[in-house]
Amino acid sequence: LAKTTQPISMDSYEGQEVNITCSHNNIATNDYITWYQQFPSQGPRFIIQGYKTKVTNEVASLFIPADRKSSTLSLPRVSLSDTAVYYCLVGDEATGGFKTIFGAGTRLFVKA
């Protein structure tokens, strides 16, 4: 089963750039890397997805090195409202990617 490892928690201050790295050493050739954000008592929300190199949208950037064994979610100029848990996911090749495995996630706390 594809497995991810992330830091348990991170602290930051408003206006700073935050980078959260996820390790996925056993990623399969066809797997995409997906990041979700979850606020307390709400369902996770899709943030960004990528396969290789760099992907950017209006919320975040995702950096994936050539070996794809890790990825970094970059949140530019965070605000207090970015305080949340961030999950990194990769597909489960054994089930064709249909079985979804959320890791423990990274709890980001943004301070004023």
Partner 1 sequence: EAQVTQNPRYLITVTGKKLTVTCSQNMNHEYMSWYRQDPGLGLRQIYYSMNVEVTDKGDVPEGYKVSRKEKRNFPLILESPSPNQTSLYFCASSFLGDSDTQYFGPGTRLTVL
Pick from 70, 73, 38: which is nearest to 57 by CA?
Answer: 73
Near partner 1 by CB under 8 A: residue from 2, 87, 108, 110: 87
Give rounded-to-5 percent helix, strand, coil for the chain. 5, 45, 50
CA–CA separation, 102 and 87 (whole Å): 7
Residue 39 binds partner 1 (CB under 8 A):
no
Q: Which of residues 50-79 bind partner 1 (CB under 8 A)?
A: none
Near partner 1 by CB under 8 A: residue from 11, 15, 30, 46: 46
Near partner 1 by CB under 8 A: residue from 10, 28, 55, 101: 101
Strands 106-111 and 9-13: parallel
Positions that interact with partner 1 (CB under 8 A): 32, 34, 41-46, 49, 87, 89, 91, 95, 97-105
